Amino acid sequence: MPLTIEWLPIIWGAPFIGAFLSGLAGLVNKRVSAYIGAISIGVSAILTIPAILAFIGSGDVVVSPRYSWIQIPLRNGVVDIDLGVYLDGISLTLTAMVAWVSFLIGVYSLSYMKGDYGEHRYWVFFSFFVGSMLLLVMTDNLIMLLIGWEGTSLASYALIGHWYRDDEHAWVGDPGRKALGKPMWFTPSHAGVRAIVMTGVPDIGFILGLASIMLITGTAYIPDLYSGLAPMMGDLAARGILAGFLFMFTLGALAKSAQFPLHEWLVTAMTGPASVSALIHAATMVKAGVYFMLRFVPIFLSASSIAGDLALSQVRDYLAMVGGIGVFTAFMMATMALVARELKLILAFSTASQIGYMFMAASYAGMTHEPGLGIVAGLSHLLSHAVFKASLFLGAGILIHSLGSRYIDQMVGRAAKLRVTMISMIFASLGLAAIPPFSGFWSKDLAIDAAIESGYVASAVLAIITSLLTAIYTLRMISILYLVPQRDRYAKGVGGEIHGDHGEDPVAYIPYLLLAVATLIMGILWSVAINDFSTISLRGTGLYAPEINYRLDLLAIASTIAIAGSLLAIGLYRKFGLDLFEAMRGNPIAAAINRFLYDRWYMNSIIYAIFVDGGAGTVRSLGRYFEGGVIDRIYHAVIPRGFSIFSRILRAYQPGIINSYLIIMVLGAIFLILLQIWR
């Protein structure tokens, strides 16, 4: 029996109320709005504790009553859309993660955003963001899932474009740089539009998918879909469109999680404040797509196994496609991170790359007889990534702010002065680089294990290569920040002074220090208690928890690779320092590779050439030639001229001469008389 707790919707409701109140309060005092925002998220975070305890104690899922909100029509009858909460292992884990990580980011923001010109607006959207994300992971039905989903799109748009006045310090990319003729630097307002368009447009596919599911199954209640989806899947499979349908349904998730080729919005999303990057990359937004996979892959598997082999094989086609996209994204983004110069950009590439691992694990779960393994792998990697990436972004924010530069090679020799930040950056980086015993090591290992189990050898190999690249780019970042001795020319034009007004503020550094330490603690916990975690997190998902034994061979390979990659990076940069950049620029082939990676495989330029320029060309030609030249001319020139010619002809017979009128009249009368006679 599910345990029912009345107050659960408060967890997602509190930040929405916080957003509203903070909007009102901000009209009077900006600081008050900040505290309201942070406290409202704190309420959510604290309330997750009794929810977790109740969940562990109950032995079943935890739900809230289904408080009714609106009704949506179906073909016959209506379906109730409620405000209820359904917490199984997956949604509970995400709820706790989102609430706590967001709360810590919120505390950091109290210091980081103090005195900003948009502080008030920041808190409205920040709380709204957290509320939307919590709603999307906690809700029990599809329409509220959609509302939370689109809410995160809106909030990320507003926060990415937070510094809407487009001052140069908030840009991403090197001003003036072009690739294939397309500008490679982005202002906050531009990055905001990129984000909402690139995530909002694919969401139409997501809406079509969930709308079809609601219509055809007749329910919006997600737990009903485990079996309720089966007849629909059978029908679609018989028509041969099941894989396509599921892919359309997943388009929104792929975009939200910045998977190839929809990844471009994420890498320019750092135009927002660092705390926003932390929120988007760690706790919210990109994790929504992974949550979608973790939530729906078990449903697809369960329903298609009821629907029959045809459906199951098409579901597997679909999963192979999505898993392939995931592993390719992981690899692609890791290569870009190897050469990036902007601190936040390295972290952004690594986000899309790590999310690729999660997509891979969650998708390939469906290829095996033990789907639980892949799902647990995806979920654990999501958790460990959330923690270390939040820490890295928050630390990066302090570094950038205090050192006055976005570029790591301009931070050389100065970053180490911020001691607390250094410690937490290193800890969190070891998590990202998957060095044992930090959390990323265990979770990435599970993800690769899931790929191996699925039998997709090429993907598994690519995933292992990517983990080598990950170790290299992560330690390259750390080496440049902390190990390369300062050389004057790299700090040229940048004040050597530490601003310090935030650097030593404990309100700012305690959150990321805690998260960095958590990276280590989680790693230790996972090494001993992974089976407990998997049992709890799979409860209520319909999957049975596999017995997870870390594979020693894989652990050995993975740790060797991670450590080797790290040492390689440290060695290279320790020895050559920043001269490596110079060396690469000197050699034409190396320089070309460097350019290719630095300009993000030219993906941005290609997308702009096709969609932006192509779109603009279509718009111009339709607007100028079709609308102006054809439609407007036909209606407002050709047709009126036709009428005026017609009237001129008519007027020619009415010259105003009475004699001619009389003649015509007489002729007419004669004609009528003749007509009568002839009849």
Partner 1 sequence: MYLLLSSIAVPVVASFVSLALSKRASPRAHMMISALSLTYSAIAVLIASLLGIPYLDTPIRLGPPIGYIGFILDQFNLPVVVGVLVVSILVAIYSRPYMEHRFHELGGGSWGVYYLNYTLFSASMLGVALSTNIVEFYLFLEVSLLTSFILIALYGYGDRIKIAFLYFIWTHAGAFLFLIGSFIYGLSTGSFDYIAVTGDRPYPVGGSGYIADQALRNISFALILIGLLIKLPAFGFHIWLPYAHAEAPTPVSALLSPNLIGLAGLGIYRILVILYPGLMQANQWYLIAWALITIIYGGVLALYQEDFKRLLAYSSISQMGYMLLGLATMSPPGIAGALLHYLTHALGKASLFMAAGNIIVGAGGLRNIYRMGGFAFRMPYTAVSSLLGFLTISGLPPTIGIISKALVLMGLADLIFRGASLSPGMVALVVVTAIAGFGLTIAYSFITMKRIFFGKLSEGGGEVSEAPLEAVTSITAVALASIAILVLGSLIVNPLSSAVASIIPILLR
Site residues (CB under 8 A) for partner 1? Answer: 68-78, 128, 132, 143, 146-147, 150-151, 153-154, 157, 161, 164-166, 187-190, 192-193, 196-197, 200-202, 204-205, 207-209, 211-212, 214-216, 232, 235-236, 238-241, 244-245, 248, 251, 615-616, 618-620, 622-624, 627, 631-632, 635-636
Which distant-in-sequence residues (6+ apart) come within 8 Å of 59 by Cβ? none
Q: How far is the CB of 127 from partner 1 (least distance, A)?
A: 12
Q: How far is the CB of 40 from partner 1 (least distance, A)?
A: 16
Instruction: Kindly list the distances between the CA atom of residue 648 and the CA atoms of 37, 277, 583, 636, 655, in Å, as whole numbers in the listed order.
Output: 74, 71, 82, 18, 11
Q: How far is the CB of 191 from partner 1 (least distance, A)?
A: 10
| 433/444 Cα distance (integer angstroms) | 10
Look-up of token digits 């999505």: 322
* Contact (Cβ atoms closer than 8 angstroms) between residue 389 and residue 424: no
Q: How far is the CB of 645 from partner 1 (least distance, A)?
A: 18
| CB of 222 or CB of 451, closer to partner 1 | 222
Q: How far is the CB of 241 from partner 1 (least distance, A)?
A: 5
Nearest of 623, 619, 332 to residue 470 by alpha carbon:
332
* Contact (Cβ atoms closer than 8 angstroms) between residue 160 and residue 311: no
Neighbouring C-alpha atoms within 13 Å toward the C-beta of 298: 29
| CB of 75 or CB of 369, closer to partner 1 | 75
Which distant-in-sequence residues (6+ apart) come within 8 Å of 82 by Cβ? 66, 67, 68, 69, 140, 141, 144
| CB of 88 or CB of 203, closer to partner 1 | 203
| CB of 75 or CB of 648, closer to partner 1 | 75
* Contact (Cβ atoms closer than 8 angstroms) between residue 371 and residue 301: yes
Q: How far is the CB of 490 from partner 1 (least distance, A)?
A: 31
DSSP 240-307: T-HHHHHHHHHHHHHHHTT-TTS-HHHHTGGGS-HHHHHIIIIISTHHHHHHHHHHHHHHHHHHHHHH
| CB of 57 or CB of 240, closer to partner 1 | 240
| CB of 50 or CB of 617, closer to partner 1 | 617
Residue 371: strand pairing partners: none
Residue 82: strand pairing partners: 68
Which distant-in-sequence residues (6+ apart) come within 8 Å of 276 by Cβ? 126, 156, 159, 160, 162
Which distant-in-sequence residues (6+ apart) come within 8 Å of 419 by Cβ? none
CA–CA–CA angle 154, 183, 352 (5° rounding): 50
| CB of 537 or CB of 604, closer to partner 1 | 604
Rg (CA), the chain: 30
Instruction: Kindly list the distances between the CA atom of residue 591 and the CA atoms of 583, 584, 601, in Å, as whole numbers in the listed order.
Output: 9, 5, 14
Q: How far is the CB of 122 from partner 1 (least distance, A)?
A: 14
* Contact (Cβ atoms closer than 8 angstroms) between residue 112 and residue 251: no
| CB of 28 or CB of 552, closer to partner 1 | 28
Q: How far is the CB of 342 from partner 1 (least distance, A)?
A: 21
| CB of 497 or CB of 627, closer to partner 1 | 627
* Lookup: tokens for 521: 């603690």
Q: How far is the CB of 378 from partner 1 (least distance, A)?
A: 27
Nearest of 25, 24, 45 to residue 106 by alpha carbon:
45
Neighbouring C-alpha atoms within 13 Å toward the C-beta of 141: 24
Whether cis (ω within 30° of 0) applies to the bond prior to 202 is no
| 313/321 Cα distance (integer angstroms) | 12
Q: How far is the CB of 256 from partner 1 (least distance, A)?
A: 14
Look-up of token digits 């599970």: 446
| CB of 202 or CB of 289, closer to partner 1 | 202
Three-class secondary structure of residue 543 per DSSP = coil
| 531/529 Cα distance (integer angstroms) | 5
Q: Please, what is the end-to-end C-alpha distance for the chain in angstroms?
A: 97
Q: How far is the CB of 317 from partner 1 (least distance, A)?
A: 14
Q: How far is the CB of 635 from partner 1 (least distance, A)?
A: 5
Q: How far is the CB of 291 from partner 1 (least distance, A)?
A: 18
| CB of 58 or CB of 189, closer to partner 1 | 189
Three-class secondary structure of residue 179 per DSSP = strand
Q: How far is the CB of 161 from partner 1 (least distance, A)?
A: 6
Q: How far is the CB of 132 from partner 1 (least distance, A)?
A: 7
Residue 78: strand pairing partners: 73
| CB of 69 or CB of 646, closer to partner 1 | 69
| Helices and strands counted in the chain (H then E) | 27, 7
| CB of 183 or CB of 200, closer to partner 1 | 200
| 229/233 Cα distance (integer angstroms) | 6
DSSP 481-539: IIISPP-GGGGTTS--S---TTTT-HHHHHHHHHHHHHHHHHHHHHHHHHHHHHHHHTT
| CB of 189 or CB of 535, closer to partner 1 | 189
| CB of 143 or CB of 347, closer to partner 1 | 143
Q: How far is the CB of 148 from partner 1 (least distance, A)?
A: 8
Q: How far is the CB of 17 from partner 1 (least distance, A)?
A: 12
| CB of 145 or CB of 508, closer to partner 1 | 145
| CB of 419 or CB of 624, closer to partner 1 | 624
